[in-house]
Structure 1
């Protein structure tokens, strides 16, 4: 559960991004002369929507497991077994120590149970161990138990305790807690006071390389909220940082900014590349935008067949764009046939 985020219902409508299946009828931004001045209006406040906790986290590997998450030392035998994928062994080694009050072992047992690694998945039992370790100040357990308290499926829902635990984990340096605590602060106070309180937590999480937080900070600088002066150049750099981590919303926004010349020089070729990367990753809005780039020849040679193919992919996913529907109707029978064939081979 290391990649868990706040559940959807805990977020403000103001910070939700559009779902992939939402209709996108806004035309692409057009290249404009660089006058040295930016007269475009700030985009609406759009902070990233954290993933739900319903999907299981990826299995751990020796490269991405940090023993500090469990309050353990690298030489710890249970942690070592966990790192090597010997989950049942890790569970058996940690359980005895957990029962004797070791908070690192309690956290490890909870992690294994919550994900069903080598043992039957038991989120309710995991919650008990997370709670015990959280009481002893393990930031990872404080964060995970806070999520469970907000969710209310495996323990009684308690937003007040969740707030306190999330804050404690954030102050201790857990970057996911920092991001989610910032979201909670904005939820409590959607005004500038809430943003001002949240900014320091977003900043700390962004400094660790968390893409969600980098994107959040890009929107804060793009809109000049939370005590920050609007700074399009800084916002664009943050978008680029998140985009390089395959954060698809940042890739789409960065591409739009590059087409407009916002926050830096116009770069149509790179804009096309970022849009294509997001589209190939399965972002439906990006698939539709990529279709328009091919149709209008922005950053790439015009290709009506590929434009149609990408729109067909987006439409199959539920996105409807009247402009692109009209475009499809205007194709020849041969072009339509080619587009369908290409669409069937696209990601």
Structure 2
């Protein structure tokens, strides 16, 4: 999902902000192409298409980029990613790095005709060699995963490093991840913490979470429970379940924040609703004990059951609940689970409404 959203975002901007080396059919930009750009920015999409199309058909790379954006985003025309990809491919063939990147995104994530990971990797490589930061990061990801060709963690780290040095938050995060576990490069916890910090300070939620873990444990960075909780919160507020669960634990244990059962239950609930099994088990325990929420055996059994489905089993809690679970409670929970399995709303209680 991140890739498709990123692609859609850049599709809007790329035609109008060329930042990389590219080959143009002509050195002087036609006045009506400038007008097409202005029309696009003002959401006069049909006018933008009418003005840009003649130049695109004559081989003007930026005009081809504009048509690619219009078709892919469905602006002023029925959305057609295949047609969008065709126009991007024409601009990419001229060496336009933005087009090479966007064409690669559609090949890898857009489900266009004739798409393949091999073609996407080639297109990202062409753009990456021209210094296109997002392409360098995408290429690194494909190399790290072995998509579109052989897996090569060392080369992945090289491309991440290239983009990270120029401030790309995603590249900083992925390089830090490799360094933290010693993949593609020798393990270096201090450098991983530095890179996670750079990425997190740009708002990268996963980097904030990973940095929080390092601060919590004192791995590669001075141990600091207060700073760890702050990083967990930054990621939790962006909706990252693991960070929400960690922030819940911080409130439960009073680590880096003042102990607060209500806040602990709130963050466990946020993570539990997003499928975090550890948080589901913690929330089940809160309901059984009545800590931070109103005591509710039905809710405790429901969240415990969901946690078990996720591979987390608390036998102590299970045995403690057992004497209080009536046939009616079991039947009620079974019905709620059936609704969840069927994809119907069941509104499981979180105690955080």
Q: Distance in 1 between matches of 2:231 and 2:306?
A: 30
1:61–1:83 contact (8 Å) kept in structure 2: no
> Which one has the largest radius of gyration?
2
Following superposition, the deviation at residue 144 of structure 1 comes to 1.2
The equivalent residue for 2:308 is 315
CA distance, structure 2, for counterparts of residue 124 and residue 63 of structure 1: 24
The match for 1:109 is: 103
Look up the match of 1:230: 223
Deviation string, structure 1 residues 27-57 (Cα, Å, up to 9, x no partner): xxxxxxxxxxxxxxxxxxxxxxxxxxxxxx4
CA spacing shift, 1:133–1:168, aligned 2, 3 Å: same
> Do structure 1's residue 126 and structure 2's residue 120 form an aligned pair?
yes
2:72 maps to 1:82: yes
Cα distance in 1 for residues equivalent to 2:7 and 2:153: 33
2:108/2:115 contact within 8 Å kept? yes
* Separation of aligned partners in 2, 1:69 and 1:187: 39
2:290 is the counterpart of 1:297: yes
| TM-score normalized with structure 2 length | 0.74
Deviation at 1:106, TM superposition (A): 0.9
Where does residue 201 of structure 2 map in the other structure? 207
8 Å Cα contact 1:179-1:205 kept in structure 2: yes
Residue aligning to 1:67: 13
Q: Does 1:279 align with 2:272?
A: yes
Alpha carbons of 1:112 and 1:153: their partners in 2 closer, same or farther (altered >3 Å)?
closer
RMSD of the alignment, in Å?
Answer: 2.9
Q: Distance in 2 between matches of 1:99 and 1:266?
A: 59
Q: Would the aligned equivalents of 1:112 and 1:119 in 2 still touch at CA under 8 Å? A: no
Contact 1:71–1:138 under 8 Å retained in 2: no
Q: SS at the partner of 1:327? A: helix
Structure 2 gaps of 5+ residues are: 20-35, 38-64, 339-345, 349-353
Instruction: Describe the superposition over 1:138-170 as per-residue Cα deviations: whole angstroms up to 9, x where unpaired.
Output: 111111112222222422333332221110011
Residue 306 of structure 1 is aligned with which of 299, 304, 320?
Answer: 299
Are 1:269 and 2:266 counterparts? no
Match of 1:17 in 2: none
Structure possessing the higher relative contact order (Cα contacts under 8 Å, 6 or more residues apart): 1
Question: Any conservation in 2 of the 1:114–1:126 contact (CA below 8 Å)?
Answer: yes
Q: 1:285 to 1:224 in 2, by over 3 A?
A: closer
CA deviation vs aligned residue, 1:111-154 (integer Å, no higher than 9, x gap): 11111344343111111111111111111111111222222242
Alpha carbons of 1:270 and 1:66: their partners in 2 closer, same or farther (altered >3 Å)?
Answer: farther
Q: Structure 1-normalised TM-score?
A: 0.75
Compared CA separation, residues 171 and 267, structure 1 to 2 (3 A): same
Aligned to 2:56: none
Q: Is the 8 A contact 2:120 2:148 kept in 1?
A: no
Give the corresponding residue for 2:343: none
Q: Give 2:61's aligned residue.
A: none
Give the helix-richer structure, 1 or 2.
2
Number of the residue aligned with 1:41: none
Residue 331 (structure 2) aligns with:
337
Structure-2 change in CA distance of 1:239 and 1:301 (3 Å)? same
1:173 maps to 2:167:
yes
Looking at structure 1, the residues matched to 300 and 15 of structure 2 have their Cα atoms a distance apart, in angstroms, of: 46
| Deviation per residue, 1:238-288 (Å, 9 max, x gap) | 111111111111111111111222112122111111111111112122211
Query: Alignment partner of 1:229: what SS?
Result: coil
Q: What stretches of structure 1 of length at least 5 have no aligned partner?
A: 4-56
- How far apart are the structure 1 equivalents of 2:140 and 2:8? 26
Structure 1 position 109, deviation (Å): 1.0
2:238 aligned with 1:245: yes
Distance 2:237 2:146 in 1: 35
Aligned to 2:190: 196
